[in-house]
Structures are given as C-alpha cells and as structure tokens.
Structure 1
Amino acid sequence: METLSLDGLDPALDGPGSLATRMGIALVEAAPERVVGTMPVEGNLQPYGLLHGGASCVLAETLGSIGAALHAAQAHGGIAVGIDINATHHKSARSGLVTGVATPLHLGGSIASYEIVITNEDGDRVCTARLTCAIRRP
C-alpha cells in the first residue's frame, strides 16, 4: 500500500507537532467516501501493554475528520469540526499495525457522520467508532 502525506489537507494534520504524526498515523487512501490509515500499536500502549483506547479514538477521529474535511471543501467550500465521537473496543492489540477505515454514514450540508472500523493485522475488529462533524462554511 502506498502511504499518502497528510500535508496539503490541512496544515494542522501534518508536521512534527501534530498528534497524527506523534501517534505514527499513516494515511493510505483519502476521499470523502472512504479514508484509510494505519497506526503502530508500539508506542501507543496503556500500562498493561495493550493498545490504548484513546489511541484508537485518535486514529478514528483523524480518519473521520479527514473525510469530513474533504467533503466540506468539495461540496461547500467549507471546513469540518468534530462535535462527537464514541468508540466501542472489541478486542485488544499488543503489537503490529492497526488499520482504520472511515466510511460515511451521512454527508450533509451541515453534518457529516462517519463509521470508523479499526482492525488488527489478522483482520479482527479491534474498535468501532462513530464520529460526527459539523460543516462550517466560510
């Protein structure tokens, strides 16, 4: 899989100070209809040696926000800001990469909602998240 740069989507999404960069998130595919990215488990662990649930939320919010931002820019010339995220953690991960796939549940003029499914390298579902973003026009 070719890794895409987060650069150019929004200056806040890339660079040495961004959370996505610090977490090791790599963007693989990006369009309003589907955003795919990976994140290493190593470096994103909680004290028991498992992938931190907050790290899964960071991956989910990053991918969903990119999709919503692309939708807002293409459809309305606007921006997207997150207003709600929830996550269910199904299975732990101790090593390797996790992959998140964000697909839209709703792409409207004022709201965009995404489901983000995070899986481990075996394809097992680790987390399911839902992100809602408000669409703001300039």
Structure 2
Amino acid sequence: MTEKAEPTLFEWAGGAEALERLTETFYGHVKKDDLIGPLFAHMDPSHPAYVAMWLGEVFGGPDRYTRERGGYPHMLSQHLGKGITEPQRRRWVSLLLDAADEVGLPDDPEFRAAFVGYIEWGTRLALANSQPGATPPPKAPVPRWGWGVAPPYQP
C-alpha cells in the first residue's frame, strides 16, 4: 500500500491561480488604504503577480520568483530603507487575511495556521529589514514554508 503524499501549502491553497487572485484583490485594497497605500503609490503594475510568485515558491510551488526575479536578494532589496512601522505591518497582515477570505482561500484551521504563521514571520522580517541601519544577510534561500505540526486532515 502506498501512502498518499501530503500536499504542499501551494497545492492546498489552489496553486498559482489562487495566489494571483489573492494578491490582485489584496493590492486593490492596499491602494485605497490610508495607512499603507502611500507605501505602494508607485507600485509596478506587475507587483501583485510578483508577490504571488514569491508566495507560491515559499509555499512549495515552482521556483519562479528565484528564476525570474532574483530570489531572496531581490525581495530583500524591495524592503531595505523603507522604514516600515508596526502599524503598517499589522495593516498589511490584516488586509491580506481579509483578501484570503474574500477570494476563498481554504479556511481550514491547519492551512490558515500555516499561512498566518508565514505571514507573521515574513512581515516581521520585512519590518526589521526595512529599518534605517539594518544589515540583514544579503544572500539567503527563499524560505520554504510547510504545515508545521498539524498536517491537513484528509479522510
């Protein structure tokens, strides 16, 4: 008897299409937000697609962000010197979680715990790395986020 392979978070979320819907919806809200909208006032129109690629790679999908955008060093470069505040970080998280509900990402506790775990971890790093004088490591792999201690229930 062969054991069924555990799906990646990328697969469980619905793949690239689901993450693209998420980031398109999310950045639509970001642009209208008084607290974080100004940070994205001059956002590249492709920015939502790039963030979807990043999330896809982090959650176990294809390594497109690394191959097409430069991986971690490029992501880091997008945050250096931005001076993100804690209220801005929290609003970013809140709007992303609202968008996840709006586009119908899976809402089972296991997926959402893993999803929120990465979003908290990643945004706290972005906050720290954006501060004046921050000296984060210039090179690192793209993180690969998994289920943690509670894999999805599959009867």
TM over 0.5: no
TM band (smaller chain): 0.3 to 0.5
TM-score of the superposition, structure 1-length normalised?
Answer: 0.33
TM-score of the superposition, structure 2-length normalised?
Answer: 0.30
